[in-house]
Amino acid sequence: MGTEENKYYIIMTNRPKDPELIVTDRIRTFLEARGAKVSVFADNEDVSRFGLAAEGENRTEAAPKAACMIVLGGDGTMLKAARETAAIGVPLLGVNLGTVGYLTEVEVSALEDALERLVRGDYTIEQRMMLSGSVLRGDGSRETAQIDALNDVTVTRCGPMQIVPLRIWVNGQMLSSYGADGIVIATPTGSTGYNLSAGGPIVEPSASLILLTPICPHTLSTRCVVLCDRDEVVVEIAKKQSGGVQEVEISFDGTLLTRLRTGDRIRVRKSERTTSIIKLSEPGFLARLHRKMSE
């Protein structure tokens, strides 16, 4: 990554979380005072009065040259950064300006101490498993290329309040068939997201496995299933008893991708890519989890 004097950092700011770019400028000033080069990208094109880069510049093109990308916002901003940099591998350091902050490592109250450790190289990099999915239409055509997700791939109902009939295969073998509001296919990192709200288990984020968690299943026997990271999952939108066409929404890390209809499928497996998360110090995952659960 080079010496402290020639390191290059990218700051990605969720502008609504730092509207006056106060925290952003604190970070930029700190790093530049230590000889580093810094580029700032904010979700607003008019940031010239701060002497910062505009959103129109391509941060994904700049990312391969960076020692890390410092992400200001909440978990949603971290997920966006993970998607953008999945093919690049630049490490991410999250600064929590949100409300949850499972993915963010640094609180604003400890910002300078964290940055000091960052420029000294006093940290570890944790590789987080990602999922990769693609949509297959009922006629056999492929709707999408492989799309990566750090947290989860979700199938949820849309339109009228109706149960979604689902069929789930694992490695080509039928696992289950049931009606529900949908299903969450999650990574260990995503276990504290939608998966947790749907009643799924919490998993240590550096683990490598796949969680299948039904959303409000219309049965007492359907539960979350934990799979090996080598397994391939296929979810099919089954036929309704009434014979009508069912529509559902597919999203990757909360970002809507497309809609599926009866007979369509989505195939999900472990991605070949990972997300690199910078870990500075304690508290570790369990301590952070305890704090979050106590709030």
What is the rounded CA–CA span in Å between residue 168 and residue 176? Answer: 5
Does one domain contain both 98 and 166? no
> Which two three-digit tokens encode residue 29?
């000033």
Q: What's the one-letter identity of residue 258?
A: T
In the chain, which stretches have pLDDT less than 50? Answer: 1-4, 45-50, 54-56
Q: Is 195 annotated as a binding residue?
A: yes
What is the rounded CA–CA span in Å between residue 165 and residue 255? Answer: 22
Does one domain contain both 218 and 168? yes
> Which two three-digit tokens encode residue 277?
């998360």
| CA 167 to chain centroid | 25
Bridge partners, 237 (sequence order): 166
Backbone angles phi, psi at 110, to 5 degrees: -115, 30
> Which two three-digit tokens encode residue 111?
């910002």
What CATH number is associated with residue 234? 2.60.200.30
Catalytic annotation, pick one of 18, 75, 253, 264: 75
Does one domain contain both 150 and 205? yes
Q: Is 132 annotated as a binding residue?
A: no
Does one domain contain both 147 and 86? no
Cβ neighbours of 93 (radius 10 Å): 28
Are the CB atoms for 176 and 222 separated by under 8 Å? Answer: yes
Cβ-Cβ contacts under 8 Å for 116 (sequence gap 6 or more) = none
Q: Is 199 annotated as a binding residue?
A: no
> Which two three-digit tokens encode residue 216?
């409000």
DSSP annotation of 38 reads E
Does one domain contain both 241 and 139? yes
Q: Is 181 annotated as a binding residue?
A: yes
Does one domain contain both 153 and 252? yes
53 SS3 class? coil
Does one domain contain both 257 and 286? no
Cα 275 to Cα 7, 109, 133, 197, distances in angstroms? 21, 26, 16, 23
Of 289, 84, 80, which Cα lies nearest the Cα of 205? 289
- Please give the pLDDT value at position 185: 99
Does one domain contain both 85 and 135? no
Task: Give residue-wise pLDDT tens across range 126-161.
Answer: 999 999 999 988 877 766 668 899 999 999 998 777
What CATH number is associated with residue 99? 3.40.50.10330
Q: Is 6 annotated as a binding residue?
A: no
Bridge partners, 256 (sequence order): 251
Does one domain contain both 155 and 261? yes
What is the rounded CA–CA span in Å between residue 44 and residue 262? Answer: 40
What is the rounded CA–CA span in Å between residue 239 and residue 256? Answer: 23
Does one domain contain both 145 and 217? yes
Crossing angle of the two packed helices 111-120 and 22-33, in degrees rounded to 10? 40
Domain count, the chain: 2
Does one domain contain both 220 and 175? yes
Is 229 one of the catalytic residues? no
Does one domain contain both 25 and 152? no
- Tell me, yes or no, if the pTM score tops 0.95: no
The whole domain housing 197 covers 131-273
Q: Is 270 annotated as a binding residue?
A: no
- Please give the pLDDT value at position 285: 76
| CA 264 to chain centroid | 24
